[in-house]
Structure 1
């Protein structure tokens, strides 16, 4: 049976396509156009991948999204093709692209059938760290205790530790507790997948990511951190009483901590991402005369090999598959 390793580069082409097309809307202030373009290109490229894949984390339920909805079958579905589950986010940070801000990426994770968990709440409480802190912190203890422990493990002062938090009103208490403990804070407007991954990238300047963010992003972060030896701890965070009642009625325990392996299990896991705007660990899409330059990352759990791929796309010859057009479209025509 074909392993994910054999189609890893093909999966990179999927995130490249989404990044290329969505980058044309950089700074135009239109989040919907950014997302629509990325979804169209990602879905179009997936038609070319030799696999039987089911979207388990995507753009929403079937009646909410025309493409990349949960349960959609993608790939060629040839008889001999391997079967996988995939989690996608065509643009993690649509607002970042729309307003020309850093850290927007296009991401995809693939794993063996049944290995990717579905979290029932829209939001989750998350704590992500790199390899040095994996298994050392606890989402259930105070922020001060975790920062003290991180200081001891890393051998640095708390004042040298950098924590990334989404800049949201719901995080006021968290931000105050981090400040009181004496750690540095990097506030971000969006893009928490990139932030969580950055904790495991040497030289990123990020030590810990914490706070309440999207549950699908927790799954994608878990896939990447499995490949990097990092860790994410997650707890369900219902955003209102109605969702809380639904989740409890469905048998979920709001006090349960879901760890990295709970979110994405198995050993045949691949994570790929392409930068759209320059961020902590990936460069964004760059235009230079008749070339477009993309920077991507590809990694696997089995080998923990991390590859950075810089691609130079010739605008005159580049084709991008768009699902809405039923096939390849010349990139130069999309720019007109």
Structure 2
């Protein structure tokens, strides 16, 4: 792309995070979701692009504010993906690990995916392709340990704390690895595994659209990802075919979901999480913690931004 849009889309995630933080903990899940989706849309729509919104997980939810299919003020063609408020229930309840995300890429670079469950494994660049999604979790954990030159007991596996993961958690514990359970926010868990600071590997089932953002992050930061979509019936397969997916046994990797290095991502913490700290309000504004990365150069930045509402209110 002709422009580094990372510093532009981070403004959108910052405003989304500040918007969500204002109503954090009030308990209204749909209100906080909709306010945040509206806020991120307003900023993204100011970009000098002909943008196409892809992979919105809430596009079929009638109670959710709907993203426009096309956005921007005009310019080069681009794909845009926004997860305005991941872990919106946690944010509404005042719990951890809620974050706002956005990605922008060359037109046609982002693979459309159905809103279905995907089993995924994510590791950082030091591990690379040592993992194999067709192998049992314990085997992959031991491969990670061997690659990182750690004892298995010192490997940390991040897993969503969901009923569907009971057997997965049992298998990981049986090989002696440490587990970090998170209630929501699988993208944060995946990013933590990519950085390798709070986790060494992420394993588990979540949504396919979230996997696309993780693939965009790997394009920018390095790392390795494998995922398989879970189909419950023929209707799910029909939905996948409408997104151009006809190999129902396909193992998705980064290059399948993000087909170009011309991609940038941004993230801003709303509540404290595995990857970013949340919003802090001050007497005359707020402080946000964000992350911006670009695939073409593999550069990434951690940003702490002071917002002064007395000069230009954002709400």
Q: Normalising by structure 2, what TM-score? A: 0.94
Contact 1:43–1:67, Cα closer than 8 Å, also in 2: no
Contact 1:121–1:243, Cα closer than 8 Å, also in 2: no
2:212 pairs with 1:214 = no
- Please list, as runs of the form range in 1=range in 2, the aligned pairs for 1:38-49 lying within 5 A after superposition: 38-49=36-47
**Residue 156 of structure 1 is aligned with which of 130, 136, 150?**
150
Contact 1:121–1:237, Cα closer than 8 Å, also in 2: no
**Residue 110 of structure 2 is aligned with which of 91, 116, 126?**
116
Instruction: Choose 52-61 or 188-197, whichever is displaced more.
Output: 52-61
2:55 pairs with 1:57 = yes
Q: Deviations over 1:144-174 (max 9, x none)?
A: 2111111110000111011111111111110
| Cα shift at 1:249 | 6.7
Contact 2:59–2:67, Cα closer than 8 Å, also in 1: no
2:135 pairs with 1:178 = no
SS across alignment from 2:252: coil
Contact 2:59–2:66, Cα closer than 8 Å, also in 1: no
- Please list, as runs of the form range in 1=range in 2, the aligned pairs for 1:128-143 lying within 5 A after superposition: 128-143=122-137
| Cα shift at 1:248 | 7.4
**Residue 200 of structure 1 is aligned with which of 194, 198, 205?**
194
- Matched pairs, number: 312
Contact 1:163–1:184, Cα closer than 8 Å, also in 2: yes
**Structure 2 stretches of 5 or more lacking a match?**
none
Distance 2:271 2:105 in 1: 27
| Cα shift at 1:271 | 0.6
**Residue 74 of structure 1 is aligned with which of 71, 74, 77?**
71
The change in CA–CA distance for 1:291 and 1:86 in structure 2 (over 3 A counts) is same
Q: Deviations over 1:39-71 (max 9, x none)?
A: 1101111221111110012254378454315xx
2:290 pairs with 1:291 = no
| Cα shift at 1:244 | 3.9
Contact 2:55–2:113, Cα closer than 8 Å, also in 1: no
Distance 2:133 2:61 in 1: 35
Aligned to 2:90: 96
Distance 1:248 1:59 in 2: 14
Contact 2:279–2:286, Cα closer than 8 Å, also in 1: yes
Distance 1:247 1:98 in 2: 31
The change in CA–CA distance for 1:134 and 1:236 in structure 2 (over 3 A counts) is same
**Residue 228 of structure 1 is aligned with which of 196, 221, 227?**
221
| Cα shift at 1:304 | 1.1
Distance 1:90 1:272 in 2: 11
| Cα shift at 1:35 | 0.6
| Cα shift at 1:82 | 1.4
Runs (4+) of structure 1 exceeding 3 A deviation are: 59-66, 242-245, 247-251
Distance 2:40 2:296 in 1: 25
